[in-house]
Every structure is written in C-alpha cells, then in structure tokens.
Amino acid sequence: MDDQLTTTEIIGQVKRTLRDSGYDQHRDSPDRWDAPNTLLYEDDYGIVGIVVYESISSLLNEWTAAQGALVHVMSEHVTRDQPKSSEGYLVLLTGDCPRESREHDVNQQVNEIRYNTSRVRKLIGTGLSLDTVNDVKHVLDPLLPLDIRDDTQDNVSVLDLLPELLADDVSKEITEAVVESYRELNSPIDALHEKLHES
C-alpha cells in the first residue's frame, strides 16, 4: 500500500500525544529497551513501551521479545520492598497492511495478542486501522487522561428552552410563568392557573 503511514510519522504522533498527555520519555533507555523504533514513557501510574515495526510480520513474530524487555525494565524499576504500583502497557504499531489473502488470519493473530493480558496489557495498531496520524492517537486513547470539562456554566438549561419548544402549542408567556414559578420553588400549577385566568 503506497499511502501507509511511515514509521517516522507514527513515532512522531506517539511522541506528541504522550508528551501532551503528561508522560515523561525515558531518554536514557535501559539496555534492554534500546532498539531502533522503540520508545519508553512513564507517568505516575505506569510504564509504556512502544515499538513501531516496519512490517506486520515483524510485529507478529517479535512482539514477545518486546514484552519480555518491557517486563525486565519494569522489574528493575520496582524494588522488592515496594508494592507493585505501576501498570505496564506494550504498544505495538505498524503502518503495514497484510496482503488481502492473509487479512483474516492476521486480524485473528492481532486480536489474540491484544487480548493476551499476561504480563502487560497490549495496544495494537496496524495499517488496517492506521489510515492517518490521528488514528495513532486513537490506539493510545486507553493511556490518555479523560477530557472532562466543566461546561455547566455554558450549558443552557432545558427550562430555558421550553418557551421556544412549546411556542406552537402554548403561549410563551404561560410557559415562562410556569418555569419562573418552578425556579422560585413555587407551585407551577398555581402559576399556570393564575396565568390562564389573566387571559
């Protein structure tokens, strides 16, 4: 496939995404994690090892070595008297796609790796799911902080919308009177009766 993401594009997006999400990159990677196209990141909750492969077959054949190296790095990171406080994630990526005739088999193998949670959790993206650099970020979503914003001050209450929503069936003045009564913790029914008798 000519338009597949390159290893450089994938690594660049991984670096941007994790840096922007508060992860620290280990610049002095331990010997066991010092191979081309590998990255090691950490935050307060865990260690993330990333390996970007040139081909889908390399990913399928070499992921266990990457897992072993990450487990070794994690075991060196935690001393015996410390409780296990870090989660380990292994991110396996490639822009390569399998040949169409092998697509089903490759998907099955990728899913077996993805759901194999022994030792560390695995996140996987292949050329089948990585069409753009934004897709790389989607693979990393489980590692990223939730984007929870307090938009309550910007939100319009449904009560504010009622006069417009009901305008075809009920006059705005009546609906506004009922809503105002409700907000003032008075009886909306009394306000409705009062407003109806005024008309």
59 in Cβ contact with 91 (< 8 Å) = no
Same domain? 27 vs 115: yes
Residue 194 domain-assigned (yes or no): yes
Same domain? 108 vs 25: yes
pTM: 0.70
Same domain? 43 vs 134: yes
Same domain? 131 vs 176: no
Q: What is the mean pLDDT of residues 164-172?
A: 84
116 in Cβ contact with 148 (< 8 Å) = no
Q: What is the mean pLDDT of residues 77-106?
A: 78
Domain that holds residue 139: 7-143
Same domain? 181 vs 97: no
Give per-residue pLDDT as tens, 14-36: 999 999 999 998 876 666 676 78
Handedness of CA 164, 169, 172, 175 (dihedral sign): negative
Number of domains in the chain: 2
Q: Is 99 helix (H, G, I), strand (E, B) or coil?
A: coil
Same domain? 115 vs 84: yes
